[in-house]
């Protein structure tokens, strides 16, 4: 995609390969291009956080990606996958469904419903607190405690 996105993906790719060797399971990259993604592929498995921008040079986009990258462990714990779309001209499936205007952060639940829309960057702490209030997340935490 764009040079910045390639740099971000290149940063996480070696980490996921190391994790794959250590755990012998495939660890998906936290940040993925959203241009060819459909929300249905994450249904009941992940909580997509979709980051839209009109350009990969948008400072809010850079700030959001940096914040998400710094809190990757907390996001993995909550089954979050980050999808980025910085090309409005491509009119991706994500753009058609979520209809962003400029920069937008969208949190989608495991059930496929839009849970949050924000026109400015959010911290991982803010996202985590929001996710932790979901009934499905509370069940996940209880199940982990019980086992």
Compute mean pLDDT per 10 residues along the chain, 147 residues long, and list them.
53 48 56 90 96 97 97 96 96 95 97 96 97 94 85
Domains of the chain listed by start with CATH number:
28-146 (3.40.30.10)
Per-residue confidence (pLDDT) for residue 24, from 0 to 100: 42
Question: If you search the block for the tokens 């291009």, which residue do you land on?
Answer: 33
Per-residue confidence (pLDDT) for residue 23, from 0 to 100: 43
| Distance of alpha carbon 147 from alpha carbon 138, whole angstroms | 15
Per-residue confidence (pLDDT) for residue 11, from 0 to 100: 53
């Amino acid at each position: 995609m764009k040079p910045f996105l390639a740099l971000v993906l290149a940063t996480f790719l070696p980490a996921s390969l190391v994790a794959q060797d250590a755990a012998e399971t495939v660890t998906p990259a936290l940040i993925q291009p959203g241009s060819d993604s459909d929300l249905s592929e994450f249904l009941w498995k992940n909580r997509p956080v979709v980051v839209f921008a009109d350009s990969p040079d948008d400072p809010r986009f850079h700030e959001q990606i940096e914040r998400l990258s710094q809190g990757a462990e907390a996001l993995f714990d909550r089954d979050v996958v980050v999808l980025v779309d910085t090309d409005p001209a491509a009119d991706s499936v994500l753009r058609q469904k979520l209809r962003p205007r400029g920069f937008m952060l969208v949190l989608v639940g495991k059930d496929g419903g839009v849970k949050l829309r924000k026109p400015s960057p959010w911290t991982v702490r803010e996202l985590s607190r929001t996710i932790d209030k979901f009934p499905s997340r509370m069940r996940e935490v209880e199940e982990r405690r019980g086992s």
